[in-house]
Chain A
């Protein structure tokens, strides 16, 4: 019986011991993230989770995103562009070392870019490198990249996490043991739980202020809430439950950062399928949707209505929401004109994120009000990719397109919403070749208008970047121009 007594004692004591939080020195930071990376090679998978942990912390590219979304120099301190716009010469920083002690030089740049654009590459963003015809090493710190035609997006493309510079020597084990040039060194990965980084003491640039950073993976929104409340994590990047933000705002221990995010959330429509191949039907769809109710109901008010597939914080954004205001009567009228006075039945296939599942229920109810009967099915991502994205077997779906500046997907007729407009394709072609900023802006505006006029998809809202941060943590990015948790300038205010 003594054994049992001891156990009871331990059970009683545990909560008491652990309700006391020990305050250690504040040079370590725990960041909560919803998704765990499948592996640690940013050039070998689409998973944003890989970039969330490694981008700019462990791996760096020639150029990089700044917190406001602008493109600034990274490992390349400067570059020259030939007058015809097809040859870029990058001047690399000197003295850059990989975490294994080896030097980073022009050969690594050539290796990285050639690897990403190779025939059998497994780079998820192969298209970023499509225009590169040649990468030449001029000297150890000078690289020349030749393009087949001018590309106004080229420096932007090189800033992506998929374009970071890796070393040939450590590429073998990159998936388990990533070796980069960044201000943090990969330390440890407890699969299913956390990844630990430590400070790179021989960093070539301004050293990190934190000694240690831990990324903890908590995909369940209620667990995220409790972990934050218990101060088990100091920062929660992209907090998954907007319904709980009010409670953090009311609590002086925390601050809530509301910034911009690249996620255009749209009601994707199968443009080749009956009856959505009819412009009137798509227009009716657009007028049947009450964006405010969706933003309120699914995102608890966090989000900006959009009228086209473009980020509102982008300087070239045109507000076209007026073209598709909520007007159920007009919607019904359009439906009868299109030959569906009694509506029709269609499918709405929803991927797992809450914006899709909750938004889907609201949209289904709004569409029912104009006579469109919607059959919801909730799918896992793998199933969604197979059925909806690759199989194009769907009527409607909701998804957030999180890649920055991705209006170009509308120029791909084989893309899952199967929009095929020669006019639009021409505009994008011109835009890619254009390097003059004024011309580019006008082309971007034009592109936005075309897809809004064609009501390709239901444009719902731009997601807000919601982070919950301990109020003593300084330097976290508010916006999310790319999927990244840049910790290089983060510190504790004590």
Chain B
């Protein structure tokens, strides 16, 4: 057990080192630099060099890599070249948009998908089931940025119920903030809800054919009662796994939606920083995202082994 744990820690370590090298190297070879970007087309060459020096970009590559990695080890993710504020602060600020957006989208998709999936399973094989499944297929096939454009057209331009973009902030009240996240959350939620509804349905159908469900029915429970008291609860396990997966997807996957709606979230920060060649921000934010994914995988792996003794014996 200890040996397994140790081995996983070593792989975790090497994965992170490897990831940091990939990230650093690919951002080194990307053409363009933040100093020229900031100074524009009238700047003199010596000014660009002076600014590079001020930003610490004149140091050798390897040294910069070491500074970056050392900083991260003590929780210092560097200072943005363009904004001159600490990356960790910028990320923290953007999380106030990205995190609520992801949660909002997840809530929406769950609230819609679970009843729809249950409903489809209960009416399995009927025309209703068939059309719901058809709709979920369309929901998966729609590019979310296109759906977002259509939402903007309908709700912001024609009906004028929502503003087409931007984030109102939380200072003026939660409702105002939520309002500006509503269209983006819907755009993000549609494909997720479609997937979730399908998972809910098939998981429930699987459960319905299990013996204990048949026993429950035989004991005289009505179909509806059996469904609610035994079926749904048991069917939720795979659904929860999917919801967990979707959450991490929504955090990083909202990048295009954040751009369509002009939300100052994490995705747009990365997008903008790539354009401005604010390399340190791009590096650190991607590293943070990779780290969170790798860490979650690590914890899940360890947890499985602790929970499931069969796995343990196969490993040891």
A touches B (Cβ under 8 A):
yes
Residues of A at under 8 Å CB distance from B? 4, 7, 10-11, 14-15, 17-19, 38-39, 45-47, 119-127, 175-176, 190-193, 216, 218-220, 222-223, 225-227, 229-230, 232, 380-383, 385-387, 389-390, 399, 401, 403, 406, 409, 416
Residues of B within 8 A of A227 (CB): 163-166
Counting CB contacts under 8 A, is B259 at the interface?
A: yes
- Check if A225 sits within 8 Å of B164, measured CB to CB: yes
- Check if B51 sits within 8 Å of A122, measured CB to CB: yes
- Check if A126 sits within 8 Å of B164, measured CB to CB: no
Residues of B within 8 A of A38 (CB): 38, 82-83, 276
Residue of A nearest to B268 (CB): A192
- Check if B90 sits within 8 Å of A191, measured CB to CB: yes
Chain-A contact segment, one of B13-21, B153-161, B197-205:
B153-161
- Check if A229 sits within 8 Å of B36, measured CB to CB: no
**Interface size range of chain B in the complex:** 35 or more
Residue of B nearest to A173 (CB): B84
Query: Given the known A-B contacts A45-B39, A227-B166, are A222 and B94 also in contact in the complex, defined by CB atoms under 8 Å?
Result: no
- Check if A386 sits within 8 Å of B40, measured CB to CB: no
Residues of A within 8 A of B179 (CB): 14-15, 18
Tell me how far the C-beta of B139 lies from the nearest C-beta in chain A, rounded to whole angstroms.
Answer: 19
Counting CB contacts under 8 A, is B100 at the interface?
A: no
- Check if A124 sits within 8 Å of B43, measured CB to CB: yes
Query: Given the known A-B contacts A193-B264, A219-B262, A381-B37, are A124 and B42 also in contact in the complex, defined by CB atoms under 8 Å?
Result: yes
Q: Kindly state the separation between the CA atoms of A63 and B149 in the bound complex, as whole angstroms.
A: 46
13 A-B contacts, Cβ less than 8 Å apart?
A: A39-B83, A120-B50, A120-B53, A122-B50, A218-B166, A226-B164, A230-B163, A232-B163, A381-B275, A386-B32, A387-B31, A399-B41, A403-B42
- Check if A223 sits within 8 Å of B164, measured CB to CB: yes
- Check if A226 sits within 8 Å of B169, measured CB to CB: no
Residue of B nearest to A162 (CB): B42
Query: Within residues 164 to 208 of chain B, which ones have a CB less than 8 A from any CB in chain A?
Result: 164-167, 169, 175-176, 178-179, 182
Q: Kindly state the separation between the CA atoms of A125 and B51 in the bound complex, as whole angstroms.
A: 13
Counting CB contacts under 8 A, is B68 at the interface?
A: no
- Check if B32 sits within 8 Å of A15, measured CB to CB: no
Residue of B nearest to A219 (CB): B262
Counting CB contacts under 8 A, is B152 at the interface?
A: yes
Residues of B within 8 A of A121 (CB): 47, 50
Q: Kindly state the separation between the CA atoms of A312 and B41 in the bound complex, as whole angstroms.
A: 22
Tell me how far the C-beta of A405 lies from the nearest C-beta in chain B, rounded to whole angstroms.
Answer: 12
Residue of A nearest to B149 (CB): A222
Q: Kindly state the separation between the CA atoms of A190 and B178 in the bound complex, as whole angstroms.
A: 18
Q: Kindly state the separation between the CA atoms of A23 and B201 in the bound complex, as whole angstroms.
A: 49
Residues of A within 8 A of B36 (CB): 382, 385-386, 389-390
Counting CB contacts under 8 A, is B162 at the interface?
A: yes
Q: Kindly state the separation between the CA atoms of A223 and B264 in the bound complex, as whole angstroms.
A: 14
Counting CB contacts under 8 A, is B107 at the interface?
A: yes
